[in-house]
Amino acid sequence: MQWGGAGAVGLLAALAAMPAAAQPAPSAYDLAFVAEFEQACVPGRLGYQTSLDAARDAGWTPTTADAHPELAAVMAVGEAAALDPELEATFAYTVHAKSIEGLPHFLVVSTTSAVISDPDDPWIQTGCYLYNFDATSPLDPAPVTALIGNPISATREGEGATSVIWGPPCPMPMTGDTYLSYIAEGSPLTAQVPMTGIALNFTTTALAEGEPVPEPYC
């Protein structure tokens, strides 16, 4: 049977009047993961030392990248990518560990410096990355949307992986895009990104000395 004309309009009107299917609420783990990211990564995001202080205030304990083989591999790739000789780039990071909902997690706070034009005024960014290498399913993005204050900009799925991206967060000036990624065991993408599990991260442009903290965008 084909629907057309008034029949189609009537069907569409009936469907529009139906209540939307309820979305499952984020799990306790999803909420806890994003809450830990917020507590560790948001308060000090405008500088490297302030980010380290915030992470430790949130209960994260310093450790090393060798604490987990996938973390060591990820950091090796990240360091190689960050050290661009043409930009006189520098890269440093500190690794922290903490249990969330009974599972081991790792938090990386990084600082990258690059000379764009003036050697006396390098571009400095602070990164904050939260990892669960044991995750076997993607994180619900809803708690991240609530934290960022913006809708999702893009979602990509395929080859055993999911990536969700948000634009710069309205309440957090100087912070760039936010990335939530999941890579399953056996995904071919591990040849490029040597990890499995969940990662949530953003980077923030550091304030110059004496520069006032900008007002939120909203």
Residue-wise pLDDT tens digits, 29-46: 999 999 999 999 999 999
CB 111 within 8 A of CB 126: yes
**pLDDT of amino acid 4:** 38
Distance CA 96, CA 55 (A): 8
* DSSP H or E stretch at residue 111: strand 103-114
**pLDDT of amino acid 22:** 54
**pLDDT of amino acid 85:** 74
**pLDDT of amino acid 216:** 86
**pLDDT of amino acid 18:** 40
Closest among 67, 186, 42, 85 to 131, alpha carbons compared: 67
Q: Where are the domains of the chain?
A: 26-205
- Residue 127 has a CB neighbour count (10 Å cut-off) of 22
CB 53 within 8 A of CB 44: yes
DSSP-assigned beta bridge partners for residue 109: 94, 128
Strand, coil or helix: what is 115?
coil
Distance CA 22, CA 130 (A): 29
CB 207 within 8 A of CB 46: yes
**pTM (two decimals):** 0.87
Distance CA 26, CA 140 (A): 6
Helices (H), 149-210: none
Distance CA 133, CA 200 (A): 12
Paired sense of beta strands 161-166 and 152-158, if any: antiparallel
**pLDDT of amino acid 121:** 72
Strand, coil or helix: what is 199?
strand
Give pLDDT < 70 ranges for the chain. 1-23
